[in-house]
Amino acid sequence: MERPADWRYGYELSRETGLKSGTLYPILMRLEKYTLLEARWVTTEDGVPPRHTYRLTPNGLELARNKLAEARPRSMVRQPAFCSG
């Protein structure tokens, strides 16, 4: 969300989100199916298989922003009474 134009690798997303491959890829597959995500193959060096990279489409970006906006008030309500935030 901070750098929406950047293409990201699957393993990189996995490390950032903490999701394992068995959980992450079905989500990516679904996002791509609904054109919320675009994917492309990139070749990094000779002899090494190409890598799949991903980034959110404008629709995906909009959906993600909406979802975050919805989630924020709920997360604030859930904060304990004596929380520093």
26 binds other proteins (CB under 8 A): yes
Which residues, 27 to 56, sit near other proteins by CB under 8 A?
27-34, 36, 39, 48-52
Residue 52 CB, nearest distance to other proteins (Å)?
3
Q: 7 vs 4, 14, 82, CA distance in Å? A: 8, 14, 40
- CB atoms near residue 32 (< 10 Å): 15
Residue 39 Cα to chain centre, angstroms: 12
Residue 72 CB, nearest distance to other proteins (Å)?
8
Residue 27 CB, nearest distance to other proteins (Å)?
6
